[in-house]
């Protein structure tokens, strides 16, 4: 009889320990999802032209557009309020090395203050007639 009580007591303690561990684990995972300091990354391509993006301070916006360098065309930022979203990085990548394949251009913007900024890029030749190949616009609202 005494052995049955000990086994029952050990079983109850084990159930209590498992339950407490589960509750602690659930609380830790829910706090991780609610962490306000986790920055989000928004990725846009040419298909996202004329869209509106809502961001928070610290969030990043990756903008990737095709590089039309084979005709002498280069992308340039025509308009952006750098007090709202600041360009932190720019690079070219993804070229296969084939003739005419210049890969993609990527700009990384970081939201640094609340407000609204229109990011406008223009792909044109910087020489001669300066004809425009393509434009890209996105409105960024930082809360």
Stretch 126-143: mean pLDDT, rounded?
Answer: 89
Is the CB of residue 120 less than 8 Å from the CB of residue 134? no
Give the other-Cβ count within 10 Å of 80's Cβ: 19
Stretch 32-38: mean pLDDT, rounded?
Answer: 61
pTM: predicted TM-score of the whole model, two decimal places: 0.71
**Using 50, 70 and 90 to split pLDDT, how confident is the model at 26?**
low
Predicted confidence (pLDDT) at residue 31 exceeds the cutoff of 60:
no
Predicted confidence (pLDDT) at residue 124 exceeds the cutoff of 80:
yes
| Rg, Å, the chain Cα set | 26
Q: Where are the domains of the chain?
A: 1-35, 41-142
Which H or E run includes 37? none
Length of the chain: 143
Predicted confidence (pLDDT) at residue 13 exceeds the cutoff of 80:
no
**Using 50, 70 and 90 to split pLDDT, how confident is the model at 69?**
confident
Calculate the average pLDDT of the chain.
85
Is the CB of residue 126 less than 8 Å from the CB of residue 135? no
- CA 121 – CA 52 distance, rounded (Å): 15
Pick the CATH number of 41-142 from 2.30.30.240, 2.60.40.2020, 3.40.50.1970, 3.40.50.740: 2.60.40.2020
């Amino acid at each position: 009889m005494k052995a049955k009580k000990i086994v029952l007591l050990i079983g109850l303690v084990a159930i209590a320990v498992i339950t407490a561990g589960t509750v602690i684990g659930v609380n830790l995972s829910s706090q991780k999802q609610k962490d306000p300091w986790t920055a989000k990354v928004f990725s846009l391509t040419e298909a996202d032209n004329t869209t509106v993006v809502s961001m928070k301070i610290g969030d990043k916006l990756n903008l990737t557009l095709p590089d039309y360098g084979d005709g002498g065309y280069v992308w340039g930022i025509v308009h952006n309020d750098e007090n709202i979203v600041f360009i932190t990085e720019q690079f070219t990548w993804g070229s296969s090395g084939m003739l005419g394949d210049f890969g993609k251009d990527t700009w990384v913007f970081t939201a640094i203050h609340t407000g609204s900024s229109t990011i406008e890029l223009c792909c044109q030749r910087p020489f001669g007639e300066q004809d425009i190949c393509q434009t890209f616009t996105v409105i960024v609202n930082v809360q």
